[in-house]
Chain A
Amino acid sequence: MALLEVNHLGIVFGGLHAVDKFSLKIEKGQLYGLIGPNGAGKTTIFNMLTGVYKPNEGEIILDGMNITGMHPEKISKAGIARTFQNIRLFNDMTVLDNVKVGLHNQVRYSTLSGILRLPSYHEKENIMRGKAMSLLKIFGLEDEAYQKASNLPYGKQRKLEIARALATNPKLLLLDEPAAGMNPNETAELAETIHFVRNQFGVAILLIEHDMSFVMELCEKIVVVDYGSIIAQGDAQTVRNDPRVIAAYLGGE
């Protein structure tokens, strides 16, 4: 059984079919690319998968559980984590605390033991700090752990968002344009990190990216959408040579 199964997903915004009959199967640990011209509906698909938007049609099955239209908080608990195209960090909190918020449902203790500083507070805070620091290390952010998140440069903010998402221990990680605003060096480094994360955590990754070479090299499978509908699906080779994809990109840009 596939990890994620999406069937005929659709959403309408005031008469506009932003996404129509979108179907997708992602296996455990798979690296999947979602591409398409601007306004094709990619982010909208992410928003439906994570419960930010409720789809008008279709269903989303994660690991055998129907999560269609569930609240974002519940979907996070079910095992989908994401980053945002327009970065959404907890800006006034430290880098470390951003990741600790991601660990919220992984390492728990009660409000009362927090206020009274009971032994469980110290024990669990130590575990949290260890986990958070090792995640920050993966992204080379350990030296900035005690800085305010908003003080990080853009590229590092994107990485912090991925670290925070990974902290929720997801089965499926959705990355919305993770390489946006990065230079070629940073982009290459990011591709390596994403590979590493997949191997290390066994997490499936679905990513949106406009940088074609990035997607083609990294992803095992790619789905292409245009005007809300799938126009091609398959490995990099198939997609690259698909006439509809070529037309969409030549016409779209």
Chain B
Amino acid sequence: MNLKNISRTTRQNLVTYAIVIVAFAVIQVMSAAGMLSNSLTGQLIPICSYIIMAVSLNLTVGVLGELSLGHAGFMSVGAFSSAFFSVAVGDALPTWLTMILALLIGTAVAGVFGILIGIPVLRLQGDYLAIVTLAFGEIIKNLLNAFYIGIDGSGLHISMKDANALNMDESGRVIIKGAQGITGVNRMSTFTIGFVLVLITLVIVLNLIHSRTGRAIMSIRDNRIAAESVGINVTKYKMIAFTISAALAGMAGALYAHSLATVVAKKFDYNTSILILVFVVVGGMGNIRGSVIAAAILTVLPELLRSFSDYRMLVYAIVLILMMLFKQSPQIRSFCASVWERLRFGRLQAFFDRKKAQNTKKGA
């Protein structure tokens, strides 16, 4: 009893890892065989970023139970700080080292922003986090649109007017160019890096959930007063969850930024935050595997549906609804489970017998 049930959560996690690994292998094979369209190949790194975004947002929304409407803001901070670093470094360091450092910087800077926002807001009760993260996302976007930052022999130069106002010597380079963002980013991100980062994210989040810290976080979500009554430091555990969530979003931003030649702030706006939230809601609050699948399917779908351009949004909406139904309705779930079983073992007879038994039970 004991062992069987412990391995049940472990088994659930292993299935999640397996899905990701198999998907990666299949895509690698298909890509080697030239079976992927160009546009789909171009989506592979964004898919990885969005999976990391959805899983990390699920940590705040589903596991901690706090609403965040500015997750793209942390992605933006991670993207800009990491791209700033890699452009400033240029080719002074080996590419792999630049990439690792850029990822670490994006993660750390977004984590620091998470702490800065969390400290004042997470001690409050109520939906303040939603309002403040919403504002944060918009403010970050507008600030980054306005900033000019350059670097020369004497160090950093910052202006909010234009590039000339930076007053740099002739060795100076403008790195952040206001609304034009950061150009000339080295496109170091690869699908394999994205895949590894998805796995790292999953290990962090799944292990966290099934640990003492994760239980403390979920207890706050389920009943704050009871959590306090058994000696849980509510603010501390909210901070831990929110900071990890923000830091992982920063990592996703760094990954994403280095798949583009140009990083602009308007890519990480309110719509992106809401899109990620849709992934989380569709995949299921607190359901990490659901977030992975929803993010992957809903990112690829608009691309796949390009040929039906007229009906694209209609089909997208229908898929959304079907996924929600699938998640919520136990009947649909058990139906799909039995169809699956039938396909797997050919137990047609058993299937119909069970249906009949169910029907007679319903009749009684």
Q: Does A81 contact B (CB under 8 A)?
A: yes
The stretch among B91-99, B206-214, B310-318, B337-345 that forms the contact with chain A is B206-214
Q: Decide if B212 touches A76 in the complex (CB within 8 Å).
A: no
Which residue of A72, A92, A105, A146 is within 8 Å of B229 (Cβ)? A72
B228 at the interface (CB under 8 A from A): yes
Asked if B231 and A91 sit within 8 Å, CB to CB, the answer is no
Given contacts A52-B225, A93-B218, A146-B5, contact A115 B207 (CB under 8 A): yes
Nearest-neighbour CB distance to chain B for A70, whole angstroms, equals: 11
Task: A52 to B232: give the CA distance in the assembly, Å.
Answer: 14
A145 to B211, CA, bound (A): 17
Q: Which of A7-15, A17-25, A58-66, A163-171 contacts B (4 or more CB under 8 A)?
A: A163-171
Assembled-state Cα–Cα distance A93/B212 (Å): 13
User: Is A109 an interface residue, CB under 8 A from the partner?
Assistant: yes
Interface residues on A, range: 35 or more
CB distance from A22 to the nearest CB of B (A): 20
0/1 interface trace, chain B 191-235, chain A, CB 8 Å (1 if under): 000000000000110011001111110110111011111111110
Chain B window 51-94, contacts with chain A (Cβ cutoff 8 Å), 1 for yes, 0 for no: 00000000000000000000000000000000000000000000
Point out the residue from A101, A117, A129, A146 that lies within 8 Å of B227, measured CB to CB.
A101
B240 adjacent to chain A (CB < 8 Å):
yes
Inter-chain contacts of A227 with B (CB < 8 A): none
CB distance from A65 to the nearest CB of B (A): 15
- A77→B222 CA distance, assembly (Å): 21
Give the shortest distance, in Å, between A112 (CB) and chain B (any CB). 9
Q: Which residues of A contact B213 (CB under 8 A)?
A: 111, 114
Chain A CB within 10 A, most for which of B211, B216, B228: B211
Contacts A77-B231, A91-B223; A109 near B218 (Cβ below 8 A) = no
Q: Which residues of A contact B240 (CB under 8 A)?
A: 111
| Interchain CB contact under 8 A, B212 and A145 | no
Known contacts A93-B215, A114-B208; is-contact A168 B230 (Cβ 8 Å):
yes
Instruction: Kindly state whether residue A137 has any CB partner on chain B within 8 Å.
Output: no
- Once bound together, how far apart are the Cα atoms of A50 and B227, in whole Å? 12
Distance of A49 Cα from B10 Cα, bound (Å): 41
> What is the 8 Å Cβ interface bit string for chain A, positions 105-133, against chain B (1 contact, 0 not)?
10111010011110001001100110001
Q: How large is the interface on B (under 10, 10 to 19, 20 to 34, 35 or more residues)?
A: 20 to 34
A111 B211 Cβ-Cβ under 8 A:
yes
User: Which residues of chain A are near B203, meaning CB under 8 Å?
Assistant: 115
Q: Which residues of B contact A115 (CB under 8 A)?
A: 203-204, 207-208, 211
Instruction: Report how far A108 CA is from B219 CA in the complex, Å.
Output: 16
Most chain A beta-carbon neighbours within 10 Å: one of B2, B227, B230, B286 = B230
8 Å CB contact of B212 from A114, A133, A167: A114
- Of B212, B213, B225, the most chain A CB neighbours within 10 A belong to B212
Whether B230 and A109, one on each chain, are in contact in the complex, defined by CB atoms closer than 8 angstroms, is: no
Q: Does A71 contact B (CB under 8 A)?
A: yes
A186 at the interface (CB under 8 A from B): no
Q: Is A211 close to B, CB under 8 A? A: no
Contact of A82 with B216 in the complex, beta carbons under 8 Å = no
Query: Does the CB pair A104–B228 fall under 8 Å?
Result: no
Nearest A-chain residue to B65, judged by Cβ: A92
Is there contact, CB below 8 Å, between A50 and B229? yes
Does A102 count as interface, using CB distance less than 8 angstroms?
Answer: yes
Q: Residue-by-residue, is A150-174 near B (CB-CB < 8 Å gives 1, otherwise 0)?
A: 0000000000000011011000000
B212 in contact with A109 (CB, 8 Å): yes
Q: Mark A65-93, 1 if CB is under 8 A from B, else 0.
A: 00000011100110001101000111111
A76 contacts B5, C-beta separation under 8 Å = no
Q: Given A90-B222, A92-B222, A93-B219: A101 and B208 within 8 A (CB)?
A: no
Instruction: Decide yes or no whether A209 CB sits under 8 A from chain B.
Output: no
Q: A91-B222, A101-B216 are in contact. List 11 more A-B contacts (CB 8 A).
A: A76-B229, A81-B229, A88-B229, A90-B222, A93-B215, A104-B231, A111-B240, A115-B204, A117-B207, A129-B2, A146-B8
Q: Which 4 A-B pairs have the closest CB atoms?
A: A114-B211, A76-B231, A90-B222, A88-B226
What are 25 A-B interface contacts by the 8 Å CB criterion? A52-B225, A72-B225, A72-B228, A73-B232, A73-B234, A76-B229, A76-B230, A77-B231, A81-B230, A82-B229, A88-B226, A93-B218, A93-B222, A100-B212, A101-B215, A101-B227, A101-B232, A102-B230, A104-B230, A107-B212, A108-B212, A114-B208, A114-B213, A115-B204, A164-B226
Which B residues are closer than 8 A to A by beta carbons?
2, 5, 8, 203-204, 207-208, 211-216, 218-219, 221-223, 225-234, 240, 286
